[in-house]
Structure 1
Amino acid sequence: MNTQKKEVSTNTLPFHRKVTYGFTDMAGNILFCIIGSYMLYFFTNVYGLSITTAGTILLLGRFVDAFGAPFIGILVDHTHSRFGKSRPWFLWMALPYSVVIWLLFTTPNLSGNSKIIYAGVMYLLADFIYITLSTPITAVLPNITSDSNERMSANSIRLVLGNVGNWLAVTFVIPLAALLGNGNDKKGWSMAVGMYAIIAFVLLIIAFLDMREKNIFQEKVISIKDSFKSTKGNWPWVIIVLSNVIFWTSYATRNAALPYYFQYNMGNQHLTSIFNGFSIIQVIGMASVPFIAKYLRKWGTTVLMLGITIIGQLMMGIAGTNVNFALIGWCIVCIGSGSALTMFFAMIGDTVDFGEWKTGIRANGFLTAIGASFCIQMGQGIGPFITSVIMNIFGFDAANKTQTKHSMQGITFSFIWVPIIICAISLAIMLFYRKWENNEHIVKSDLEKRHLV
């Protein structure tokens, strides 16, 4: 009886700790989503880079950082402190993260190659530092509770709060920059992002102070060789990585094209903030994910949500210039995509358990770094690059206040149809996850027996 009480106490997270865990993602999104949604637009329409140069910087930066993600994961696995493995990273990186992203949107008076170098270096640093936060955000989840339902609950709260951070960022940064800049876009963006940076710093410190890591069963240091060995035969992890990176490519392609679509195709730049403001509706899907998963399971819930995303995209394509119908489609897209990314984050924690069961190696940091940070970075690099290439082929020129009909077709193709094609591929891959989820109870049972020995 005492053993059971101790187990329940260990595995059950208090609600306040689930909320402060969510502060990590809220802090990450309140800055990083500005990069994901507006970086291409900022580089071309505020900073003054060509669409080709801007797209290339985004691609190269994310590629470098994406392949750095596994090594950050290894660092997390090798971290041993009185605070735990993942928790101290929130303390260490809170200030660098906030300052560097503020500097990214604070543009000095440069020209020529110096201007390009500054943009590239600051973008690379911002992406890299984000990995040092996003990796422990996901890696810490299996270590704060071993209960799958508690993980799902904590992850859902985390992603709801992360979505609030995203909503605050993408909805208000443009009008706030216009207000603070008073006609000076560069000044306005610097001041607006600076305000968000302060909020992110405070949230990370609060999260660090309240967080606790408990379920760290493996005491010996994991070698780099063993970290890579933990992927051997871990097919559910492979499926999640493939499907997730493709999903984020679709997500980033759409977001990169969004401000151009409303400014040029719809003729109203303010619609960008309005539509992004409605993205908060995706918390409905995020909050309902644990309940839907009880009936459709995780793979079925993910497939359903990816399908809903595609339906919403199709509705926006059919809507054309009908703002009301497009907004309905957009809300459906947000519910679907927000819920899908919730599932990917939840399932990657389960693949850590599978890896330990299969190989005897519990490489939280390494597996979750690739399953989460790597996928995000790759998708957020490839997506905007695809958008920039398509827009360039169709003749987009940021110097023109109005675009040609051909150019606007390229924007529409990037915003509506490319994300649909890519998202469908992600959905098809997720169908293969069903087989592995059927054996999840065996994995959990065997691991519990091992940990008792």
Structure 2
Amino acid sequence: MTASVAERPAEPVDVKETAQMPLYRKVTYSFTDLSGNLLYCIIASYALYYFTEVYGLTMAAAGTILLVARVIDALDAPVWGFIIDHTRSRWGQSRPWFLWMALPFSFFVWLLFTTPPLDGTAKVVYAAVVYILAGIAYTGMSTPITSVLPNLTSNLQERTVANSFRMVGGNVGNFLAVTFILPLVTLLGGSPTSQTGWSLAVGIFAFVALVLLLVAFATMREQNVERTTPIPVRSSLRAARGNWPWVLLVVANVIFWVGLTARTSTLPYFFQYNQGSTGQIALFNGVSIVQVAGMAAVPLLVKRLGKSGSTILGFALAALGQVGIALFAGDPALLMTSWILACLGSGTACALFFAMVADTVDFGEWRNGVRASGFLTAIGSSFCIKMGAGIGAFLPSLIMEAAGYVADQPQTASALAAIQFSFAWLPAIVFALGILPMLAYRRFERNEPVVLAELAERAAHQEVR
């Protein structure tokens, strides 16, 4: 479904909306990330838990599947980027993929949490194949969420605001997924490890995600499509040449998702075994909705600190909160306070990456004359999420396996220590490392007004010709 699929001209665009996005479109734009996180956050937070406690794989097998599948899966990000860069349809360039991928994405995620009557090698192969297919479908749906942003408006502030709406929507999806999936599984299946409960619960979430994606598609409109004509693969790659702000964001974003996934994937183990309360899994996941406060504050923070400075602040708060979790695990009040701080920090950092990646599309066009929004944003968003998530899930599984973790059994002291390290200290270390590339990014951010001014001047000269 690339350029050859639909060569009809794009729908006419209201020139008045090129700078100012209507409020309702910002809201429905947020539905894209809401639906994506409604399902993807179940994978990120519970895939390791589901594979070991429900599906019946060993920790080593589950961790290996998550790593290998994510590495393979991450390679499809640039492919999706090339596809989007070559897409031409009556609906625009990125927008039609919300329509085309809504059903495959919802279906494969449901299939991932549906246990077939298999044993041995066949069971492992099924888990790996469906996990990869769900990931590929997610990339096909999520890559346009970021690649469409520079084509929704040319106004940097409007992009930041629209991206904040998107991130709030994504966090609502995350909240609904991680807070209610286990209670819904228990309600429908009788226990949090019920195979039937998981299939039914994820099926309900998948249907809601499908509807939200279709609504987002129906209300969205793209601008600047005339500046994103089909380009060869080699030209797309050229857009990354010398695009150092993009490189720095890719590194920082991978680091962020390593830390976040290490935290989310080990949360169920920490509260089930270290704290002895599965009820706190839903409670602490639910409290993570405070990330919305960090995301909503982004436009105000950016005005004072800039995007890079706000991201650095987010990383620092997230790392500090994780240290508090490690130090105050025995004090419920301080543990919750530390968790809130960590969530505020991660929410702030996460919200800014996607807006900054959209800005690097402008930098690539300014420096190399190529506007490869699909390729650059695919690597800067979907690739980073998947590569970071794969590493972030594999590292805890490796640590816990080496410490002697055994599913659904009383854990040894070494296994409990490994779980706490993976949940608290490992993310703290990783988040702290994420500050380094953002420090280097600051000088490129200061040059953004010059980049936009020169691009506008070039566009004016082309119109005169």
* TM-score normalized by the length of structure 2: 0.95
**Which stretches in structure 1 are left out of the alignment for 5+ residues?**
1-5
The match for 2:361 is 352
Instruction: Tell me which of 269, 276, 290 is aligned to 1:267.
Output: 276
Q: Does 1:435 align with 2:443?
A: yes
Amino acid of the structure 1 residue aligned with 2:54: V
Cα deviation for residue 399 of structure 1 reads: 4.2
The match for 1:234 is 243
The match for 1:3 is none
The match for 1:147 is 155
The match for 1:378 is 387
Q: Does 1:224 align with 2:238?
A: no
Amino acid of the structure 2 residue aligned with 1:246: I
Q: Does 1:171 align with 2:182?
A: no
Q: Does 1:318 align with 2:348?
A: no
Q: Does 1:29 align with 2:37?
A: yes
Q: Matched residues in 1 for 2:189 and 2:113: separation?
A: 13
Call closer, same or farther: CA 1:412–1:11 in 2, change over 3 Å.
same
Amino acid of the structure 2 residue aligned with 1:332: L
The match for 2:303 is 294
Cα deviation for residue 276 of structure 1 reads: 0.4
Q: Matched residues in 2 for 1:11 and 1:41: separation?
A: 45
Cα deviation for residue 11 of structure 1 reads: 1.1
Q: Does 1:111 align with 2:119?
A: yes
1:205-224 maps to which residues of 2 (within 5 A)? 205-218=214-227, 220-224=229-233
Call closer, same or farther: CA 1:316–1:229 in 2, change over 3 Å.
same
Q: Matched residues in 2 for 1:90 and 1:317: separation?
A: 41
The match for 2:344 is 335
Cα deviation for residue 336 of structure 1 reads: 0.5
Is the Cα–Cα contact under 8 Å of residues 17 and 153 in structure 2 kept in the other structure? no
Q: Does 1:409 align with 2:410?
A: no
Cα deviation for residue 220 of structure 1 reads: 3.4
Q: Matched residues in 2 for 1:379 and 1:225: separation?
A: 26
Is the Cα–Cα contact under 8 Å of residues 188 and 200 in structure 2 kept in the other structure? yes
Instruction: Tell me the SS of whatever aligns to 1:331.
Output: helix
Is the Cα–Cα contact under 8 Å of residues 89 and 136 in structure 1 kept in the other structure? yes
Q: Does 1:73 align with 2:63?
A: no
Q: Matched residues in 2 for 1:261 and 1:353: separation?
A: 43
Amino acid of the structure 2 residue aligned with 1:136: P
Q: Does 1:11 align with 2:19?
A: yes
Cα deviation for residue 58 of structure 1 reads: 0.4
Q: Does 1:282 align with 2:291?
A: yes
Is the Cα–Cα contact under 8 Å of residues 228 and 372 in structure 2 kept in the other structure? no
Amino acid of the structure 2 residue aligned with 1:356: E
The match for 2:253 is 244
Cα deviation digits, residues 298-347 of structure 1 (max 9, x gap): 11111011101011111111112222211111111111001101111110
Cα deviation for residue 8 of structure 1 reads: 5.2
Give the superposed CA RMSD. Answer: 1.0
Cα deviation digits, residues 24-57 of structure 1 (max 9, x gap): 0000000000000000000000000000000000
Cα deviation for residue 218 of structure 1 reads: 2.4
Is the Cα–Cα contact under 8 Å of residues 85 and 228 in structure 2 kept in the other structure? no
Q: Matched residues in 2 for 1:232 and 1:276: separation?
A: 40
Q: Matched residues in 1 for 2:334 and 2:229: separation?
A: 57
Q: Matched residues in 1 for 2:47 and 2:323: separation?
A: 25
Q: Matched residues in 1 for 2:430 and 2:341: separation?
A: 17
Cα deviation for residue 443 of structure 1 reads: 0.2
Q: Matched residues in 2 for 1:440 and 1:321: separation?
A: 47
Amino acid of the structure 1 residue aligned with 2:41: C
The match for 1:306 is 315
The match for 1:361 is 370
User: What is the aligned length?
Assistant: 447
Cα deviation for residue 217 of structure 1 reads: 3.2
Cα deviation for residue 9 of structure 1 reads: 3.6
Q: Matched residues in 2 for 1:216 and 1:425: separation?
A: 37
**Which stretches in structure 2 are left out of the alignment for 5+ residues?**
1-13
Cα deviation digits, residues 79-135 of structure 1 (max 9, x gap): 000000100000001111111110100101211011101111110000010000110
Q: Matched residues in 1 for 2:246 and 2:364: separation?
A: 8
Cα deviation digits, residues 367-399 of structure 1 (max 9, x gap): 000000000000110001001000011110104
Call closer, same or farther: CA 1:119–1:452 in 2, change over 3 Å.
same
Q: Matched residues in 1 for 2:457 and 2:345: separation?
A: 38
Q: Matched residues in 2 for 1:129 and 1:417: separation?
A: 32
Amino acid of the structure 2 residue aligned with 1:271: Q
Q: Does 1:188 align with 2:197?
A: yes
Q: Matched residues in 2 for 1:238 and 1:75: separation?
A: 21
Is the Cα–Cα contact under 8 Å of residues 217 and 451 in structure 1 kept in the other structure? no
Instruction: Tell me the SS of whatever aligns to 1:83.
Output: coil
Instruction: Tell me the SS of whatever aligns to 1:231.
Output: coil
Q: Matched residues in 2 for 1:308 and 1:322: separation?
A: 20
The match for 2:5 is none
Cα deviation digits, residues 116-170 of structure 1 (max 9, x gap): 0111111000001000011000000000111100000000001001100100000
Cα deviation digits, residues 247-278 of structure 1 (max 9, x gap): 11011111111100000000001111000000
The match for 2:63 is 55
Amino acid of the structure 1 residue aligned with 2:439: L
Q: Matched residues in 1 for 2:227 and 2:276: separation?
A: 57
Cα deviation for residue 7 of structure 1 reads: 6.2
